[in-house]
Structure 1
Amino acid sequence: MTGRRATTTLWRPTGPKELDLVRESGWRAWPPRLPEQPIFYPVLNEDYAVRIARDWNVLHDGAGFVTRFEVDSDFVARYPVQQAGGRTILELWVPAEELQEFNAHIVGRIQLVHEFR
C-alpha cells in the first residue's frame, strides 16, 4: 500500500516581479535569488505573509501577493524554524544555493491566495 507523503504548508509574500517568474515556471518553482538575497524565506503562517504583502510589498512594489505551497515534510525539516520577531513571526531560512533542491521538493503547484494593490 502506498500512502501520500506528508507535506508542510508554507506561504510566501512576494512582489510582482517574483510572482511573474513563478508564473513563468508553471507555478512550480521559486526563481533563483539575486546576489543581494542570500536567503529564501517562506513563512509558516498566512497572517504573517498577508502583513508583509499588504504592508511592505504594496508600499515598495505597488502590489503585494501571498502564495501558498506544499513541501515534502521530511525534506523541509532540515530547516529550523526561525522566529523573526513576535511569536507568530516564523520563517524558514533556505540558503540561496539550496533553492533549486528546495524547489524539487515542492508538492503540486504554488497557489496565489491573496492580492493587494
Structure 2
Amino acid sequence: MINTPSTTTLWRPTGPKELDLVRELDWRAWPPRLPEQPIFYPVLNEDYAVRIARDWNVKYDGAGFVTRFEVDSEFLRRYPVRQAGGATILELWVPAEELDEFNAHIVGTIEVVHEFR
C-alpha cells in the first residue's frame, strides 16, 4: 500500500510576469524571489487571494491570477500562520532562502483558478 502524504491547499495571487516564470517551471515550482522580496507568501484563503489578484495585481500589472496548489501538510508545520489583517487574511511566510525546499514539497501542479484583467 502506498502512503500518500496529507496535503494543504494554498493559493497565491500573482501577476503575469510571475505566472510566466511558473509556466517555465512546468507548473511545479515558484521562481526565486527578487532581492527586494525576502518572503514568499502563499495564502490560506481563496477569497483573500482573489481580492489581491483583482484589486492589486490588475491595477499594477494589468492582469491578476489566482493559483491553487497542494503542499505536504507535515512540511508546512514549520511555518506559523500569520494573520495579515482581518480574520480571513491568513498567510504563510516562507523565507526566500527556503523556497527551493518549499517547492520540493509541492504535490502535483500549480493551477490557475481565476483570471482578472
Normalised by the shorter chain, which TM-score bucket? over 0.9
Q: How does 1:68-107 map to 2 (within 5 A)?
A: 68-107=68-107
- The C-alpha deviation readout for 1:75-106, integer Å capped at 9, x for no partner, is 01100000000000000000000000000000
How far 1:2 sits from its partner (Å)? 2.5
Distance 1:70 1:3 in 2: 16
Q: How does 1:1-117 map to 2 (within 5 A)?
A: 1-117=1-117
Equivalent pairs: percent with the same residue?
85
List 4+ stretches of structure 1 deviating above 3 A.
Answer: none
Letter in 1 for 2:35: P
Distance 2:31 2:4 in 1: 27
- The C-alpha deviation readout for 1:36-61, integer Å capped at 9, x for no partner, is 00000000010000000000000000
Distance 2:12 2:104 in 1: 17
The root-mean-square deviation of aligned C-alpha atoms, in Å, is 0.5
Letter in 1 for 2:106: I
Q: Give 3-state SS (helix, strand or coil) of 1:98's partner.
A: helix
Distance 1:113 1:26 in 2: 16
Structure 2: gaps spanning 5 or more residues = none
How far 1:4 sits from its partner (Å)? 1.5
Structure 1: gaps spanning 5 or more residues = none
Number of positions where the alignment pairs a residue of Structure 1 with one of Structure 2: 117
